[in-house]
Amino acid sequence: MTRKKLPVILEPEEAQNLLRQPNKRYPTGLRNRAMMSLMLHCGLRLSEVTNLRPSNINLTKGKLRVESGKGNKDRDLAIPEYLTDLLDSWRKKRPQGDYFFTTLKGEKLSSRYVQNMVKRYSQKAGITKNISPHSLRHTYATQYYRQTKDIETLRRILGHSDISTTTIYITLANIDVENGMKSFKGFL
């Protein structure tokens, strides 16, 4: 039986520090913070964030339609209230284009750009873990499960067709149990 390596996740302080790195005064910084925030606070995949269209985001209703290329399972998610101002700021500044997150010329962002951007900001934040856009999704899922213990809702949020795919987050959420046991001094 081959052992599967656990995904890399950020601790809450690391995630907050990562999101502070892009400078919102610049259009690209605003865009990058909004993209990483959606991955960290809604559990979006890289392809889902780069394929978002302006019509997929309804800030008035706080809704997000994720058109998933994976399994062709579209899903509707709630946009956390604390993200609406950030997304609205980008919406007002974004160049015209088919996609919500674009280059400054209105062209679609490449996956490679987003991967390099996340890596660059994580290094700038002093995070020594090997972070990727998917790490942000893993971080969201782990934190969601830690707080709610609701694996079925998490499965639907993430767009997994099989619950067994989602159960990895039970293991990740229980790492804090293991760490607590290590710090326990016993009775000696």
Please give the tally of structural domains in the chain.
1
Q: Catalytic site residue 137?
A: yes
Is 140 marked active-site?
Answer: no
Q: Is 134 inside any structural domain?
A: yes
pTM of the full structure: 0.86
Residue 100's pLDDT is 97
Among residues 99, 121, 144, 169, the one annotated as catalytic is 169
Mean pLDDT of 8-32: 95
Q: Is residue 121 part of a domain?
A: yes
Identify the weakest region by mean pLDDT among 36-45, 61-70, 89-98, 136-145. 61-70
For β-strands 57-58 and 75-78, DSSP reports them as unpaired
186 lies in a domain?
no
Choose, from 31, 41, 94, 137, the residue flagged as catalytic: 137
Residue that the structure tokens 């999101």 belong to = 19
Query: Residue 141's domain spans which residues?
Result: 12-181
- List the CATH number of the domain containing 144: 1.10.443.10
Residue 5 lies in a domain: no
Q: What is the pLDDT of residues 41-92, one digit of tens each?
A: 999 999 999 999 999 999 999 999 998 765 567 899 999 999 999 999 999 9
Would you say residue 148 lies in a domain? Answer: yes
The percentage of the chain sitting over the pLDDT mark of 90, rounded to a whole number, equals 68
C-beta atoms surrounding 57 within 10 Å: 21
The residue behind tokens 């607590």 is 180
**Which of these is catalytic: 70, 120, 149, 156?**
70
Residue 177 has pLDDT above 90, yes or no: no
Given the residues 31, 41, 45, 138, the one annotated as active site? 45
Q: 74 in a domain, yes or no?
A: yes
Which long-range CB contacts under 8 A does 23-26 form with residues at least 24 apart?
24/86, 24/89
